[in-house]
Amino acid sequence: MSTPTSLEALIEALRCLPGVGPKSAQRMAYHLLQHDRSGAARLGEAVGRALQALQHCQRCNNFAESEICERCASPRRDPTVLCVVESPVDMNMMEQTHAFQGLYYVLMGRISPLDGCGPRELGLERLLARAQDGVVKEVVLATNFTNEGEATAHYITALLKPSGVSVTRIARGVPVGGELEYVDSGTLAQALRERRVCQT
Amino acid sequence: MQRQRADAQPAFVLHTTPFRETSLIVEAFTRDFGRIALLARGARRPRSAIRGLLMAFQPLELGWAGKGEVLTLMKAEWQGGQPLLTGQALFCGYYLNELLLHLLPREDAHERLFERYREILARLGADPTGKVREADLRCFEKALLQELGYGLTLDHDNAGRAITATAHYHYRMEQGPVLLSHAGEAEGAVLGRTLLDLGAEDFSEPRTLAEAKQLMRSLMAYYLSGKELETRKIFKELQEL
Ligand SMILES: [Zn+2]
């Protein structure tokens, strides 16, 4: 049995989505063509439009419709504090805390030496330029607490040191509402190592 | 193909790569089975119990079963006692892992090397400033070559004469140290003292440390067949900052 080429191309194209194997791609393709042709059209248009309209904000590197995104242009944000995160999802998590009023820089990745992703691949010179705009006083490193996140934080610290900007790292420890009984050993061990003197 | 099964096997994760939607392929260095690849099913699910556990440089105990080239991870337990690596020490850790991934063939037990690796990670983690310990790296490179059957000749030259501390030598692959009439006779010449110190793992002499670094670099390059290590590139970039 031969499959028409355009259908094959669609199935192949859907496989670029994370976690979509040949079977799910085939299921998706048949669903779109048989049951939801208008949905398929919307999807096609939306992908095309997004590709055309979205660019990286010149200041925070996140996706934006304009050269400088709304958040970076907002007068209500504190431009002296710059928070560095690995991904847009991480930035959204930080925003949900309502505890941060500064601006962001989204790396769109992390240093992972064994995956061949180094400082150059990550374009860290753009972060250096951003942090040296003369307004930023503190850079808060909110990369993940994985080896790769730590490696990234260390490299950025070394990179920014000569510029005189103060560099801080978010703290790690037991989650709020976390009962020790249910906290993983690694987190608990690190929280113990990084214990502080109690103030009265 | 033979079925394999292991329980509570001391191990370190060398590297993980995403596999399918929610799984990971884990390259692990184990005490009794050497380097193996394990499939960790569902390890990338948000609530996976082993999600945060399969982290490089942390002592674990792994259990697996299966046959063929990829075995299935059944159990992973955190052993603790090893602080997370930070700073330059973290990049040293990556360097060790990169060497193991490139040079250590799969499923050959290397117990002594495993112990060496564990000791060096412990020392790297014990220094909160995360400074590079060049001496540790040299010891590991030497132990790795030894385990692979490329042990260095450090007490006599290619003509069987004992090494003289004050003489100059050129270390040739497969031949060992060749005595030179003067230092400028060959590129990368080292002092006899360096060879003796490297044999005794005594790096108190700054010249030994510097020459041993050059010597080991050329040896590693030879055994890596010219492949450039990613961690070395990053080390270089870090130094240039
Ligand atoms: Zn922006």
CATH number for position B58: 2.40.50.140
Cβ separation B58–A18 shorter than 8 A: no
Instruction: Say what the pLDDT of residue A55 is.
Output: 95
List beta partners, residue A190.
Answer: none
Higher pLDDT, B73 or A174: B73
For tokens 């040296």, the residue is A132
Instruction: Say what the pLDDT of residue A112 is.
Output: 96
Question: If you measure from the C-alpha of residue A106 to the centroid of ligand 1, how many angstroms do you get, rounded to a whole number?
Answer: 9
For tokens 């079977």, the residue is A23
In the predicted model, what is the mean pLDDT of residues B152-161?
94
pLDDT at A75 over 60: yes
pLDDT at B48 over 80: yes
Cβ separation A151–B94 shorter than 8 A: yes
How far, in Å, CA of B110 to CA of B33, rounded?
8
Considering only CB atoms, A155 lies closest to which of B15, B53, B238, namely B238
Residue B44 lies in a domain: yes
How far, in Å, CA of A52 to CA of A65, rounded?
9
Residue B206 lies in a domain: no
Instruction: Say what the pLDDT of residue A2 is.
Output: 61
Distance between A114 CA and the closest CA of chain B, angstroms: 7
What percent of chain B clears pLDDT 70, i.e. is strictly above it? 99
Residue B139 lies in a domain: no
Instruction: Say what the pLDDT of residue A3 is.
Output: 59
Beta strand spans in chain B (E): 4-19, 23-30, 34-40, 60-66, 70-78, 168-172, 176-180, 190-191
Residue B191 lies in a domain: no
Per-residue pLDDT band for B173 (boundaries 50, 70, 90) equals confident
Residue B43 lies in a domain: yes
Question: If you measure from the C-alpha of residue B74 to the centroid of ligand 1, how many angstroms do you get, rounded to a whole number?
Answer: 44
pLDDT at B3 over 80: no
Per-residue pLDDT band for A111 (boundaries 50, 70, 90) equals very high
pLDDT at B131 over 80: no
| Residue B51 near residue B43, CB atoms below 8 Å | yes
Of A190-199, B74-83, B188-197, minimum mean pLDDT range: A190-199
Residue B101 lies in a domain: no
Report the C-alpha dihedral over residues B6, B100, B60, B50, rounded to 10 degrees: -90
Residue B198 lies in a domain: no
pLDDT at B219 over 90: yes
How far, in Å, CA of A26 to CA of A11, rounded?
5
Compute the radius of gyration of chain B from its Cα atoms.
20
Residue B226 lies in a domain: no
Q: pLDDT tens for residues A122-160?
A: 999 999 999 999 999 999 999 999 999 999 999 999 999
Higher pLDDT, A197 or B138: B138
Per-residue pLDDT band for B155 (boundaries 50, 70, 90) equals very high
How far, in Å, CA of A26 to CA of B103, rounded?
40
Of A71-85, A156-170, A182-196, B206-220, minimum mean pLDDT range: A182-196
Domain count, chain B: 1
How far, in Å, CA of A17 to CA of A11, rounded?
11
What domain range includes position B45? Answer: 4-78
In the predicted model, what is the mean pLDDT of residues A26-48?
95
The complex's ipTM? 0.90
Q: Which residues of A touch B (CB under 8 A)?
A: 18-21, 111, 113-116, 118-120, 146-147, 150-151, 154-155, 158-159, 161-162, 184-187, 189-190, 193
Instruction: Say what the pLDDT of residue A187 is.
Output: 82
Question: If you measure from the C-alpha of residue B102 to the centroid of ligand 1, how many angstroms do you get, rounded to a whole number?
Answer: 41
In the predicted model, what is the mean pLDDT of residues B35-59?
91
Cβ-based neighbours of B138, under 8 Å, separated by 6 or more = B198, B201, B203, B209, B212, B213, B216
Per-residue pLDDT band for B21 (boundaries 50, 70, 90) equals confident
List beta partners, residue B76.
Answer: B62
Instruction: Say what the pLDDT of residue A1 is.
Output: 53
pLDDT at B217 over 90: yes
Average pLDDT, rounded, for chain A: 92
Per-residue pLDDT band for B1 (boundaries 50, 70, 90) equals low
